[in-house]
Chain A
Amino acid sequence: MLEAVGVSKHFGGMRAVDDVSFRIERGQIVGLIGPNGAGKTTMFDLLAGAQRPSAGSILIDGVRVEREAAHRRLARGLGRTFQIPRPFAEMTVIENVLLAAPRQAGERLLWTWFRPGQVAREERENLDRARALLDFLNLSALAGEPARTLSGGQRKLLELARVLMAEPSAILLDEPTAGVNRTLRGEILARIAEINRRGVTILIVEHDMEVIARLCPRVIVMAQGRILREGAPAAIAADREVVEAYLGGAPA
């Protein structure tokens, strides 16, 4: 469902992503690992449309989308979280989540005037869903607070709540549990596995190899912008080149 073909991204002479190709089938859950600066986040930006590739193409369900804006790609079912969370700081936490609901009637200017009943009904339904998400992510107590008051870990949780609210059919998760406490971390990873079991395709960046091994039957390793290896986590962990890449780069 998601495919990269010869994708590159250059910043001046720096090749952040260099001729990367892979293919992820519908319903898969795949880990993307690699040392700091390997190009994982840049690759996410290219896939989701936050940046344009210098070369190569990106396909969602067989359609080339590398020139489409991010919101068009979400409409095709591809959602993402940001490694560094981007909450709408002055908006309340609950409205950060509500905003993400897809295809809202109340987002149409004319309908806010002429179909108030439908807008109100839908807003109530979305509110229930948003509350349930905040509940799950232990953010309920902060629902009415402006998002700027959240801690670093809470911002990561909000990031996750928003993308889940958007109900994409494929999600790119960039270190979704970095900075989150252990207990909740376990719950989130279980939730991600469950979402995947319900058919949502997932590509996840995560530095904890144990987590990846438990979650993903297949792992892609990036280093210095290129794909170094691809395969089952056990084989990857035993691979000499992969270990060297990690030791040579910054510690994971």
Chain B
Amino acid sequence: MIDLLGYAAFFLTTALTYAILCLGLNLQWGMTGLFNVGVAGFAAVGAYVSALLTTPEIAGRLGGFDLPIALGWIAGAAAAGLCALLVGAITLRLRADYLAITTFGIAVAIDLFALNAQSITGGPFGIGFIPRPFIAWAGRPLLFNGAHLLLTGGVALILFWALERAGRSPWGRVLRAIREDETAALALGKSARAYRLQAFALGGAVMGLAGAIQAHYIGFISPLNYVSALTFLVWTMLIVGGSGNNAGAVVGAVGVWGLWSASGYLLNTLLASQYQARGSSLQIVIIGVVLAVILVLRPRGLLGERRIVSRHLEETGAP
């Protein structure tokens, strides 16, 4: 029983880190229509920056500044946000498809950097001994995972609130307008470029924060964590949950992560050991099928986008 509760807390904590990634993508794609296929890259930046700042000093590798975890989180988010700001400043003035190509390229470049810049990132071995919050309770899984669930849940809740506030305000309304028709939005006085940049940078920072939280929860990162399968997974979560809806992003993340974990467990127990290596490809196929089914049956996702953007309208009972 205790084991099960501990596992539930572990599962939910992990799912919530994905939910945060998903909230970042929802701001970029769901609300603003920015096609970011480099989610893994921004998560990696957050994770590596935070790891470098907070790990103890180690011979042969840069960093190990032994700073507090909270500072690592903030720096990770800021670094990823800055990255997004730069990418956005260069590409958001170009046609929409260039953003997709660029973000994809950036994510691959970041992964290659992590793999090869051994003196900074630890190369293929990654970075270990990343300080974990509540490490003193590591011997008691329920307490340890419960504390992490509270912490991650708290961060997710604050982000959810903040993104909901911003998204369901005149600011979010401008994002939606730009998504639908940039020319019309410009004619009505809204600087498409400035708003896109804000949404892209903030979304990137949120993804970076998620990456940092994950890194400190597991205590170990390697380039393998940040391949395009991660981007694919987060995209699936958002589409399944309901693009354009923050609650949908969270629901999709928890649901799809549940499916991912369950299918991984099943494949592990069912497949003979010589096929195990291929099991993970099968997992991707399963998620792909779920995505296809949702797209056919509920193209707007489990929770679709709300028609009324501004929360002020709903509060006054208007229109």
Contact = CB atoms under 8 A, between A and B. Distances in A.
B62 interface: no
Contacts, number: 126
Interface in B263-319: 305, 307-310, 312-313, 315-316, 318-319
Interface residues of A, number: 47
A209 interface: no
B129 to A, nearest CB: 36
A90 B180 contact: yes
A52 to B, nearest CB: 13
B202 interface: yes
Listed residue (A87, A88, A92) with the most chain B CB atoms within 10 angstroms of its CB = A88
Nearest to A168: B189
A119 B190 CA distance: 17
A126 B49 CA distance: 44
A91 B176 contact: yes
Given A91-B177, A94-B319, A109 B312 contact: no
Nearest to A88: B180
A132 to B, nearest CB: 13
Contacts of B198: 109
B65 interface: no
Contact count band on B: 35 or more
B177 A123 contact: no
Contacts of B308: 92, 95, 144
B184 A74 contact: no
Contact of A88 (B181, B310, B315): B181
B312 A124 contact: yes
A112 B27 CA distance: 15
Nearest to A94: B319
B165 interface: yes
B187 A88 contact: no
Contact of A113 (B165, B192, B313): B165
B177 A113 contact: no
Interface in B165-216: 165-166, 169-171, 173-174, 176-177, 180-181, 183-192, 198, 202
A49 B191 CA distance: 13
Contacts of A67: none
A106 to B, nearest CB: 3
Nearest to B161: A113
A98 interface: yes
B150 interface: no
Interface string A84-127: 00111111111100111110111111001100100110011001
A166 interface: yes
Given A106-B171, A107-B170, A112-B166, A91 B186 contact: no
Contacts of A89: 180
B34 to A, nearest CB: 16
Contacts of A163: 188
B90 to A, nearest CB: 18
B162 interface: yes
Contact of B189 (A127, A144, A166): A166
Given A50-B183, A69-B186, A113-B165, A99 B313 contact: no
Given A71-B191, A79-B187, 5 more contacts: A86-B183, A91-B307, A91-B309, A95-B310, A131-B318
17 contacts: A49-B186, A50-B183, A82-B184, A82-B187, A86-B187, A91-B307, A95-B173, A95-B308, A98-B173, A98-B310, A101-B170, A112-B170, A119-B169, A120-B312, A127-B313, A127-B316, A144-B308
Interface of A: 48-50, 69-71, 74-75, 79-80, 82, 86-95, 98-102, 104-109, 112-113, 116, 119-120, 123-124, 127, 131, 143-144, 146, 162-163, 166
